Amino acid sequence: MSKDTAIVRSAAAAEDSLFPPVEARASGHLAVDAVHRLYWEESGNPDGVPVVFLHGGPGGGVGPQFRRFFDPTFYRIVLFDQRGSGRSTPFADLRNNTTGHLVEDIEALRTHLGVDRWLVFGGSWGSTLALAYAEAHPERCLGLILRGIFLCSDPEIDWFLHGMGRFFPEAARAFAGFLPEEERCDLLGAYYRRLADPDPAVHGPAARVWSAYEESCSRLIPTRSLAAADPGAAPAASSGRPEPALALARLEAHYMINRGFLDPGQLMAGLPRLRDLPVTIVQGRYDMVCPIATADAVARALPDCRYVVVPDAGHSALEPGIRRALVEATQDFRRISGP
């Protein structure tokens, strides 16, 4: 792989490259402690190369569309909902919910499924978790495919809360305007207090506003265009139901206010542990949620990685150019890992 940046051709004329829908062939819940039970599922080839999909958010959960990044004849596809997310229980629960716990959960699931090593695929918060896991357990990784890299640093969190408004001022006004004027000097603290409140009358409206703010800033291509191409493209938070919005907003605020439960600079400092692994980074040029500067810094620290910049995409994994580049990445890994 070359350290040079690969600029993929425009997605405007590209056909949808996701693999056809595939059903899960096995699923279950794994108890990882006295509180949490994780939903997991498998699809694809039971004897294939294992790949684990780490969803974003945190709190975003998985859906059937995410199976479609992988050739089901080649990959043993493992998806799971992280603590408090999706079909894992208890829902939107903050107890024992830290990055360290999530890294341990991935190892527990790997052992439970009898996987020796697997390809780790994660975007946005999933890239944070993928890096934390791979740096802790490089011997259990076949490689990494990362999208929209986020390291949970103070500048990135500040950008999410304040910087995105430079490009989406109307969304930022709605986000800040939900709060009383006297609380707008501390957006994260004010939202976190509401989102952690057990009363649905308090946390529900805050969750919907938080989720709408993020969604408004996530795409270069409008959501309706994605939905036309793939009815499963719209994230759970956009469905209008308060439950998915709560997990996304509550867990994102929880991790942000705790700086990802990471030491400053921890993930960048651990990158040398990954230099023997094949790594592909896919980044939207106009990603406003996780700006390209972070992906670029990680790519410079991993000189043998493949760094793909999609010129006409924002943050969402399901924008046409991003999904095409991600499928190409899984196919490239197939070519280097076996027949």
What is the average pLDDT value for the chain, to the nearest integer? 91
State yes or no: pLDDT of 58 exceeds 70. Answer: yes
| Average pLDDT of the residues in 300-328 | 96
Where is 335: in which H helix or E strand?
helix 320-337
Mean pLDDT of 14-36: 90
What is the length of the chain?
339
> What per-residue confidence (pLDDT) applies to 138?
98
Domains of the chain: 5-151+260-337 (3.40.50.1820), 155-259 (no CATH)
- Active site (annotated) includes residue 332: no
Whole-angstrom distance, CA of residue 55 vs CA of residue 290: 15
> Is residue 224 pLDDT above 90, yes or no?
no
71 carries an active-site annotation: no
Verify whether residue 127 is a known catalytic residue.
Answer: no
Which residue of the set 43, 85, 88, 124 is catalytic? 124
Backbone angles phi, psi at 50, to 5 degrees: -70, 140
Q: Show Cβ contacts of residue 232 under 8 Å, excluding neighbours closer than 6 positions.
A: 63, 64, 65
